[in-house]
Amino acid sequence: MAPQEAATHCPYCALQCGMTLRHVEGRVEVHPRQFPTNRGGLCQKGWTAAELLDHPDRLTTPLLRDRTTGELRPASWDDALTRITDGIRDIQARHGRDAVAVFGGGGLTNEKAYALGKFARVALGTRNIDYNGRFCMSSAAAAGMRAFGIDRGLPFPLADLGRADTLLLVGANPAETMPPLMRYLTEQRDAGGELIVVDPRATATARAATRHLQPLPGTDLAVANALLHVALTEGWVDHDYVAARTTGFDAVRRVVAGYWPALVERLTGVPVADLEATARALGTGGRVVILTARGAEQHAKGVDTVTGYVNLALALGLPGRPGSGYGCLTGQGNGQGGREHGQKADQLPGYRRIDDPAAREHVAAVWGVPADDLPGPGVSAYELLDSLGTPDGPRALLVLGSNPVVSAPRAARVEARLRSLDLLVVSDLVLSETAAIADVVLPTAQWAEEDGTMTNLEGRVLRRRALREPPPGVRTDLAVLTELAGRLGSPGRFSADPRTVFDELRRASAGGPADYTGVTWERIDDRDGVFWPCPSVAGPDTPRLFVDRFPTPDGRARFHPVEHRPAAEEVSPDYPLYLTTGRVLAQYQSGAQTRRITPLRTAAPGVFVELHPDLAERLGVADGDELRVTSRRGELLAPARLTPTIRPDTVFAPFHWAGTGRANSLTNDALDPTSRMPEFKVCAVRVEKVG
């Protein structure tokens, strides 16, 4: 008997707002729930999330591409699974095990992310698995790992934001991307705090700030080094902290000595006075928090840019100081948990490295397979997508919880690579743009139909609770993976029961950096979630990291000197403008879900290009005119939206739409050398009026 009510969380972003789902007159109603992340708030996406449950576009039967007509046709589960397993066997027999690849998502529950990683390594035996979180969190993750020895988005609870004297947001627009988080920022500002936003656009968040720095896209790193330069010259560096808790400061000091404010003003366009005032607010505030998000991270120098802000935080003595610190605002619903349990090419559960022999032994023992049978590290998301169907690349791909045809950089190329596959399998709720070009489409359960856990932007492990069973014809991803593993004759044991999978995940994570051993469903139920690391059931969890030491071999955080460098693609006479991309409030990620929800479609009906009235005047463009935006990789057609909130040398387009409105047709696939993050946030374009 299904319950009449379920206390769960929103299906969308990493804030994971608490919500209660109820059956009311044959429909599912969403009600906001008091929870520390949202304090009873919900944005329009959350309120309307249930509209997809019984939506006419919902997939309720597998689809198979007819080999003669080329069309997708409804099929039985048995036929669909047979086509998949026959295809996998055939391709692996001809091209080797790595010829079958897996692409996951940051929206999958911990259980599904874990099972997917295990399925790839054990059932498929492929090294080729990565996920769309590579496009989201990877730069902050890499910077956090190398500085702190751990990667948890926020090393402190959200409530600290509301109490900060100074809060610096770099490339973050929570007013649109996670609106209920703004309650903390309002609280912070009402208490007299300084809220400083760094963004090339005067976003809704920037307009709510006490100070807005509006740098040229791709120059956030230089801003960070200039802020530290000023902190040094003004004597705001916490030398005691630096001496006691860090290593490597001297090298950073000598690098930032070369970033005096006037030099950086010229690079970034941020006035010296603003750099100085910002440094003062950071350097003289009591409780000071520095946060980055995609604006700083989605660059070919994303890791170094985040490192610049981590260096600043360390020099000011923030990490581990009560009420202060550095953090990153994770994007996707399970962007945190999804990167901890083995979807990443180089990773095993518990944030272990797949090239670490001890980690392999431990995880292989939990999985019941020889460690030597586990494949090694694969390549990152974009490299994986870019290699599909090429002579040395995979011939088959399984996609869960992702829509790369819309969300990947240089999307036209990625779409062509996906089309070149011998077998593309997509599991989704609706016929996403990626599902539409698949050979096999599997209808999967929605958030209100599954149990499991998510780990939010604070590192807080939460419970997703089912209100109802999936509709007839729909299966959960766990059930499908288990069935496929069985049909493939996989070693090890797979389970369709999320709690069983979670208990196995706990054992697999034991002793790793992201240790979930002590996180039980009961313990999560008893309170508002459990913060990892939590190495024992009897012991405490960890709401605040770094209080006494950093999880590095010597317990100290590490400075890394970082230098500014130009964007991978700078403007030129043919492509004279910068393009930056991002989100709007009423849509989520590739839009496969939110574009189908009427109130959201009404609020944000389609793509647009933001440009400054001065630029529009020079181009002879009026508000609403249809524009063609062209980069070296493709073009976008969209109406002009004139606004003084953007720099006149930069245009903006949201990336939620497909077809001719696909902003990612333009974006640059240059990758960060460490995180392999593509440069979504800046490329060179030309803008013309159509007709």
Binding site residues, other proteins, CB under 8 A? 32, 40-44, 47, 175, 179-183, 186, 202, 204, 206-208, 212, 214, 216, 232-235, 251, 253-255, 257-258, 260-263, 265-266, 268-274, 561, 585-586, 599, 602-603, 612, 614, 617-618, 644-649
CB nearer to other proteins: pick between 212 and 633:
212
In the complex, the smallest distance separating the C-beta of residue 581 from other proteins, rounded to whole angstroms, is: 19
Closest Cα to residue 222, out of 560, 566, 558?
566
In the complex, the smallest distance separating the C-beta of residue 13 from other proteins, rounded to whole angstroms, is: 12
In the complex, the smallest distance separating the C-beta of residue 144 from other proteins, rounded to whole angstroms, is: 24
CA atoms within a 13 Å half-sphere pointing along the CA-CB vector of 554: 9
C-alpha span between 122 and 363 (Å, rounded): 11
Which residues, 6+ apart, have CB-to-CB distance to 356 below 8 Å? none
CB nearer to other proteins: pick between 133 and 162:
162
C-alpha span between 310 and 604 (Å, rounded): 35
Q: Assign 65 to helix, strand or coil.
A: strand
Residue 534 near residue 542, CB atoms below 8 Å:
yes
In this structure, what are the phi and psi dihedrals at residue 290, rounded to the nearest 5 degrees?
-115, 125
CB nearer to other proteins: pick between 268 and 665:
268
In the complex, the smallest distance separating the C-beta of residue 620 from other proteins, rounded to whole angstroms, is: 13
In the complex, the smallest distance separating the C-beta of residue 356 from other proteins, rounded to whole angstroms, is: 28
In the complex, the smallest distance separating the C-beta of residue 291 from other proteins, rounded to whole angstroms, is: 16
Residue 150 near residue 271, CB atoms below 8 Å:
no
In the complex, the smallest distance separating the C-beta of residue 103 from other proteins, rounded to whole angstroms, is: 32
In the complex, the smallest distance separating the C-beta of residue 665 from other proteins, rounded to whole angstroms, is: 27
**Long-range pairs for 363-371 at CB < 8 Å and ≥24 separation?**
363/508, 366/504, 366/507, 366/508, 367/118, 367/121, 367/122, 367/492, 367/508, 368/491, 368/492, 368/493, 369/122, 369/491, 369/492
CB nearer to other proteins: pick between 234 and 469:
234
How buried is residue 66: exposed, middle or buried, by Cβ count under 10 Å (0-12/13-18/19+)? exposed
CB nearer to other proteins: pick between 554 and 614:
614
C-alpha span between 452 and 9 (Å, rounded): 11
Residue 369 near residue 492, CB atoms below 8 Å:
yes
H or E segment to which residue 80 belongs = helix 77-95
CB nearer to other proteins: pick between 232 and 366:
232
CB nearer to other proteins: pick between 108 and 216:
216
CB nearer to other proteins: pick between 266 and 419:
266
**The residue to which tokens 């393009």 are assigned:** 579
C-alpha span between 243 and 536 (Å, rounded): 33
CB nearer to other proteins: pick between 274 and 515:
274
C-alpha span between 188 and 161 (Å, rounded): 7
CB nearer to other proteins: pick between 306 and 611:
611
Residue 38 near residue 7, CB atoms below 8 Å:
no
In the complex, the smallest distance separating the C-beta of residue 116 from other proteins, rounded to whole angstroms, is: 32
In the complex, the smallest distance separating the C-beta of residue 59 from other proteins, rounded to whole angstroms, is: 28
CB nearer to other proteins: pick between 523 and 689:
689
CB nearer to other proteins: pick between 602 and 660:
602
CB nearer to other proteins: pick between 506 and 564:
564
H or E segment to which residue 310 belongs = helix 302-315
CB nearer to other proteins: pick between 24 and 547:
24
- Where helices occur in 110-173 by DSSP H, the ranges are 110-118, 138-148, 159-162
In the complex, the smallest distance separating the C-beta of residue 486 from other proteins, rounded to whole angstroms, is: 45
Residue 557 near residue 550, CB atoms below 8 Å:
yes
In the complex, the smallest distance separating the C-beta of residue 644 from other proteins, rounded to whole angstroms, is: 6
Q: Which two tokens stand for residue 452?
A: 């499991």
In the complex, the smallest distance separating the C-beta of residue 153 from other proteins, rounded to whole angstroms, is: 20
Length of the chain: 691
In the complex, the smallest distance separating the C-beta of residue 430 from other proteins, rounded to whole angstroms, is: 22
3-state secondary structure 465-524: CCCCCCCCCCECHHHHHHHHHHHCCCCCCCCCCHHHHHHHHHHHHCCCCCCCCCCCHHHH
Q: Calculate ∠ Cα 263-267-272, nearest 5°.
A: 55
